[in-house]
Amino acid sequence: MTLMMREEYIESLRAMTKRVFIMGQEVENVVDHPLVRPSLNACAMTYALAQMPGDGDLARATSNLTGQQVNRFTHLHQDPSDLVTKVKMQRRLGQMTGCCFQRCVGMDALNALDSVTCEMDEASGTEYHARFRRYLQYVQERDLVADGAMTDPKGDRRLSPSQQADPDLYVRIVDRRPDGIVVRGAKLHQTGALNAHEIIVMPTRALSEQDQDYAVAFAVPADAPGIVMIYGRQPSDTRKLEGSQIDVGNRQFGGHEAVIILDDVFVPWERVFMAGESAFSGLLVERFAGYHRQSYGGCKVGVGDVLIGAAQALACYQGTDRASHIRDKIVEMIHLNETLYACGIACSAEGTPASSGTYLIDLLLANVCKLNVTRFPYEIARLAQDIAGGLMVTMPSEKDLAHPEVGPYLAKYLRSVDRYTTEDRCRMLRLVENLTLGPGAAAYLTESMHGAGSPQAQRIMLARLADLEEKVRLAQKLAGIKEQAPDA
């Protein structure tokens, strides 16, 4: 099997024995839990898309390892067109779900590990790359969801991992055995962890030789002994427990993040892809972050399409769609959203091959993409709220809308343009609320800020990657000034 059906994916998760805690309770049946199910529905769309005619082409690729058709989320990018198609697929899935569909972190981890393990072997004579490719073939043939786990708790940010008062604040090797390693630590903000088959752990920062035990990358089944997941809350999440159809805003889909505890987890050598090569830790972080910064030029744009559509629909429902300032605001939202997409496409089209043959994005442009993502969705959300109006946050519940006594009052007094129903208006207002204030805002806004690195991380990369000296030379030449190196 190289392409799993949506239903098979859901059943495959049922067969796993993950340890999961949600709001203080250990949960046996994670798959059907009402707080988790919307995120599972979203991740399952990565399987459903691959089965669709037309757009399904975006989610299918031919494996360079086996020649078989695989889901693009397990594929190594073979040329710039693979990178471009990845972004288009992410935009399409963002449009279909209106949320984070979670599977990109695994795709980005797999692609980053492919080139870095190859370069480690070239430099150090290790044998990680062949091992990693055997693992990747295992993932491709089973069409698995992998969680790409990078962010450590980090403790006191002034101190390196080994200087921390508690040495477990970064994931580390606590034992090396003939058959494998034992690891301990935690990963925070783990997108889609509960919906994953595999957890791929990577270091979170560049490391020095003193921190060798923290230079560790590996893959484990998500239900391996010693792994505990603790579900993260989101704004208004308990509306999902009310059986709500309207108040949740997005009826079917949502994302999730979790804390993953690694409590002395054993990893056989066959699944270890870095164990002590501290010099390559920073490169792995840079590659993974680069791919994920590209990813946001697709997924956030797709969610932006939904939000722009919701704002336009509300303008029509409320009779403001012909006002020039509303039209202008919609155009502004489109401009911002398409700028993000342009960056996602540009860093893909300018991709170049690594020595493993897998294509890398243009790192400078991917960082520009992500730095824009830290800002533009906030402005798009602000404009959507401006167009939606205050009713979005003062509107009574759907139970009031359905109430025999007060429901008719609301149907009468919340009606706007006559040809649209009050319920349609309320549903659309709740969708904007979801995306800009509710659980959807966790992904569309806060994750846009901090996911794949906070804005300062991108600024550091821009300062490093832009060839300022060359720009000075260009200016000197045109100004007729003899070429001289600028002060450092």
- Binding to Fe ion, residues 423-452 (CB under 5 A): 451
Among residues 46, 85, 191, 374, which one is catalytic?
Answer: 191
Q: Is 398 a catalytic residue?
A: no
Q: Does 302 bind Fe ion (CB under 5 A)?
A: no
From the list 143, 152, 237, 447, which residue makes contact with ligand SF4 (rule: CB under 6 A)?
A: 447
User: What's the rounded Cα separation, in Å, for the pair 276 and 269?
Assistant: 13
Q: Does 286 bind ligand SF4 (CB under 6 A)?
A: no
Nearer Cβ to ligand SF4, position 105 or 284?
105
Q: Are 291 and 115 in contact (CB under 8 A)?
A: no
Binding letters toward ligand SF4, positions 189-208, x by CB under 6 A = --x-----------------
Helix/strand/coil percent split, the chain, to 5? 55, 15, 30
Q: Does 441 bind ligand SF4 (CB under 6 A)?
A: no
Q: Are 286 and 111 in contact (CB under 8 A)?
A: no
From the list Fe ion, ligand SF4, none, pick the one residue 148 interacts with, judged by a Cβ distance below 5 to 8 Å according to partner type. Answer: none
User: What's the rounded Cα separation, in Å, for the pair 7 and 210?
Assistant: 47
Among residues 77, 128, 292, 374, which one is catalytic?
Answer: 292
Dig out the tokens for 214 from the structure.
């923290």
From the list 104, 110, 199, 441, which residue makes contact with ligand SF4 (rule: CB under 6 A)?
A: 104
Q: Is 378 a catalytic residue?
A: no
Q: Is 292 a catalytic residue?
A: yes
Among residues 257, 277, 286, 433, which one is catalytic?
Answer: 257
User: What's the rounded Cα separation, in Å, for the pair 32 and 441?
Assistant: 23
Among residues 43, 99, 299, 426, which one is catalytic?
Answer: 299
Q: Is 2 a catalytic residue?
A: no
Q: Please give the full DSSP string across 203-219, using - where no structure is assigned.
A: -SS---GGGGGG-EEEE
Residues in the interface with ligand SF4 (CB under 6 A) total 12
Residue 470: C-alpha distances to residues 361, 363, 476, 482 (Å): 22, 18, 10, 14
Query: What ranges make up the beta strands (E) of 332-402?
Result: 352-353, 359-360
In the bound complex, what is the minimum distance in angstroms from residue 257's beta carbon to ligand SF4? Answer: 10
Q: Does 38 bind Fe ion (CB under 5 A)?
A: no
Amino acid (1-letter code) at residue 254? G
From the list ligand SF4, Fe ion, none, pick the one residue 284 interacts with, judged by a Cβ distance below 5 to 8 Å according to partner type. Answer: none
From the list ligand SF4, Fe ion, none, pick the one residue 295 interacts with, judged by a Cβ distance below 5 to 8 Å according to partner type. Answer: ligand SF4
- Binding to ligand SF4, residues 81-100 (CB under 6 A): 100
Q: Are 4 and 46 in contact (CB under 8 A)?
A: no
Q: Are 146 and 193 in contact (CB under 8 A)?
A: no
Q: Does 101 bind ligand SF4 (CB under 6 A)?
A: yes
User: What's the rounded Cα separation, in Å, for the pair 14 and 2?
Assistant: 19
158 φ, ψ to 5°?
Answer: -80, -15
Q: Does 451 bind ligand SF4 (CB under 6 A)?
A: yes
Q: Is 66 a catalytic residue?
A: no
Question: Strand pairing partners for 71?
Answer: 60
- Binding to ligand SF4, residues 258-277 (CB under 6 A): none
Q: Are 198 and 147 in contact (CB under 8 A)?
A: yes
Q: Is 191 a catalytic residue?
A: yes
Which of these segments, 226-234, 292-300, 420-428, 457-465, binds ligand SF4 (CB under 6 A)?
Answer: 292-300
Nearer Cβ to Fe ion, position 254 or 451?
451
Which of these segments, 62-70, 101-109, 264-272, 397-405, binds ligand SF4 (CB under 6 A)?
Answer: 101-109
8 φ, ψ to 5°?
Answer: -65, -40
Q: Does 150 bind ligand SF4 (CB under 6 A)?
A: no
Q: Are 343 and 83 in contact (CB under 8 A)?
A: no
Q: Please give the full DSSP string across 415-434, using - where no structure is assigned.
A: --STTS-HHHHHHHHHHHHH
The residues assigned a catalytic role are: 100, 104, 191, 257, 292, 296, 299, 447
Q: Interface residues with ligand SF4 (CB under 6 A)?
A: 100-102, 104-105, 191, 295-296, 299, 443, 447, 451
Q: Interface residues with Fe ion (CB under 5 A)?
A: 451
